[in-house]
Amino acid sequence: MANKWYVTLFALILITAATVYCVYPYFSCNQKYADVNIAEGLIIITTIFSAYWVSTVLSNNSQHVRYQKEILIRELDESSLFLEKLAPEIQKNDINFFYVSSIPKRVRMKIKTVYQLLDKCKISAEKNIKREIYALLEDLNKLLTETPIVKSSVKTNESAEITIKENTISYNENRKRKIELKIDKIKTQVVLLKFEIIKA
């Protein structure tokens, strides 16, 4: 957006200079040492301005955007890291419940922060990815923590996909595969979001 503003200003100055040159090609000011054509003067000013603009403003701007993108990518890398650490833990039995149940929220908060920063930086990214990640995280949370309602809480089901006892969870193979699949899907969406940010 800021780039467009500078380009418009630059174009306007060039057009003004060209117009002045066409309308008053021989107009000159009386100077003591030299005759200075106004159009030429404007062209010199424009050249100086554009040289300054290209060297400082434009490069600063692009550097600024690059830093912003780096921060966003780092945030997304961290969210992927939560999932990468979780995946091998799922394979073991007796995982701590509180660790597992906190992961979906941690990832969601990272994604939320990324989208808030994207809005602040005026970088546009596909909103569908955000919706998709949120939905997948909700599914993951269910797979990680949802246990069935039992009338007598003493009852235990040996064939249950998930068993929680004394703050530790165990999953059967079927549930483990479902969780892995969901983690992979979320990671893919995070990669897509990274790609969107890089190309924006």
Partner 1 sequence: MEPIRVSIATDFSLTPGPRYRIEGDFSGQEFRETILKEAMENAIIGNRKLVMNLDGTAGYGTSFLEEAFGGLIREDNLSFDLINKCLEIISEEEPFLIDDVKEYLQSANVEKLKTTPKDGK
Q: Given the complex with partner 1, which of 54 and 135 has the nearer CB atom?
A: 135
Encoded tokens for 140: 């993951």
Q: Which H/E stretch holds residue 170?
A: strand 168-171
Q: Which residues bind partner 1 (CB under 8 A)?
A: 97-98, 101-106, 108-109, 134, 138, 141-142, 144-147, 149-150, 153-154, 164-168
Q: Given the complex with partner 1, which of 35 and 94 has the nearer CB atom?
A: 94
CB of 142 to partner 1, least distance (A): 5
How far is residue 191's CA from residue 4's CA, in Å, rounded to a whole number?
29
Q: Which residues pair with 36 in a beta bridge?
A: 29
CB of 18 to partner 1, least distance (A): 55
CB of 170 to partner 1, least distance (A): 12
Encoded tokens for 47: 């050249």
The SS3 of residue 165 is: strand
Q: Given the complex with partner 1, which of 55 and 102 has the nearer CB atom?
A: 102
Q: Given the complex with partner 1, which of 25 and 148 has the nearer CB atom?
A: 148
Cα 6 to chain centroid distance, Å, stands at 25
CB of 83 to partner 1, least distance (A): 14
CB of 120 to partner 1, least distance (A): 18
Q: Given the complex with partner 1, which of 144 and 193 has the nearer CB atom?
A: 144
Total H helices, total E strands in the chain? 6, 5
For residue 21, give the amino acid letter.
Answer: Y
Cβ contact 142:107 at 8 Å? no
